[in-house]
Amino acid sequence: MIWPLVFGFMGAAVVLYLGAIDSYSRDYFRYSCKPAHRTFYFRDVMLEQYELNMNKVSGFSVVAYDQDEKLRWSAVAFCFGVIFLMEIQFAIVGYCGFQMHFKMNDLLRNVSEAHRRLQIQFFKSLVLQITSPTLTFYIPAVAIMLVPFFNLKLSIPSGLIVCSFSVYPPLDSLILMLIVSDYRNAIRGIFKQPSSVFGSKVSTGLAVPRAMMENAWN
C-alpha cells in the first residue's frame, strides 16, 4: 500500500513541477526566415487538427528546444524523471519475479503434477501480463516523450501510437484465458457447444410423478 502512494506522489511532483505547460510551451513559436515574422506553430496545429484552444488545455508538454534552438533542461529533467520512476518499478517487479520463481520451484516439489502445472501456467501468464503493458503502453509513451529531442521537421500521427494504450486491457484478459489450460478448454467448449452456456429449452410445466396422480384420483 505504501509503494503505490510513494510512486504516485513522486510521479505527480514530476508532472506538476517539471512537465507543466508554461507560456512558451503553449505558444511554441518558430521563427521563419524573417526574424520579425513569428508563427505560433503548436497553437495553430492544435486548433486546426484537434479544434483545441491551448489556453484551455491542461496536461504536460515536452518542448525540447527554445526559440534559440537551445535545449530546454526542464524538458530533459521531466523525461529523465518519468523514465527513472518507470525503471525503478521495473527493477522491483523483476526482483520480485525472480524471487517468486525460485521460491515457487521449491514449494511445488511436494504438490501433485496437476497443481504444479496449473501454478506454472499462472506464473507464465503473470510474466506475459507484465510484458504486454511494456510493449503496448510504456515503450510507446517513452517514444512519444523522446521524439521532440530529435528535432524532426515532421508531423507524426501520434494517434496511432496512442491507440496502443487501449490494447492492453483486452490483451491482459486474453493472456490469462489462453495460457491457463482450464480457461482455454472452457472457451473451446463454449465454441463447440454454445447450448451449454446459453442453455436449452426448459419446460415451464410442473412435472408430477404418475404415482402421485393415481393416488389423487383414488
In a domain, 63, yes or no: no
The DSSP secondary structure of 126-138, one letter per residue, reads: HHHHHHHHIIIII
In a domain, 88, yes or no: no
Domain containing 188: what range?
111-196
In a domain, 141, yes or no: yes
As beta bridge partners, residue 31 has 38
- Cell numbers of 143, please? 517514444
- Quick check: 14 and 86 in contact, CB under 8 A? no
In a domain, 178, yes or no: yes
Q: What torsion do the CA atoms of 39, 44, 45, 48 make, to the nearest 10 degrees? A: -140
- At 217 the pLDDT is 46
In a domain, 128, yes or no: yes
Distance of CA 184 to the CA centre of its chain: 24
In a domain, 161, yes or no: yes
As beta bridge partners, residue 38 has 31
Q: How many domains does the chain have?
A: 1
Interval 88-113: pLDDT, tens: 888 888 888 888 888 887 877 777 88
In a domain, 134, yes or no: yes
Q: What is the pLDDT along the chain (218 residues), one digit of tens a residue?
A: 687 788 888 888 888 888 877 777 776 644 433 444 445 566 677 777 777 777 777 777 788 887 777 888 888 889 899 899 888 888 888 888 888 888 887 877 777 888 888 888 888 888 888 888 888 888 888 888 888 888 776 666 667 777 777 888 888 888 888 888 888 888 888 888 777 666 554 444 444 444 444 444 44
As beta bridge partners, residue 137 has none
Distance of CA 213 to the CA centre of its chain: 64
In a domain, 37, yes or no: no
- At 142 the pLDDT is 86
- Quick check: 71 and 64 in contact, CB under 8 A? yes
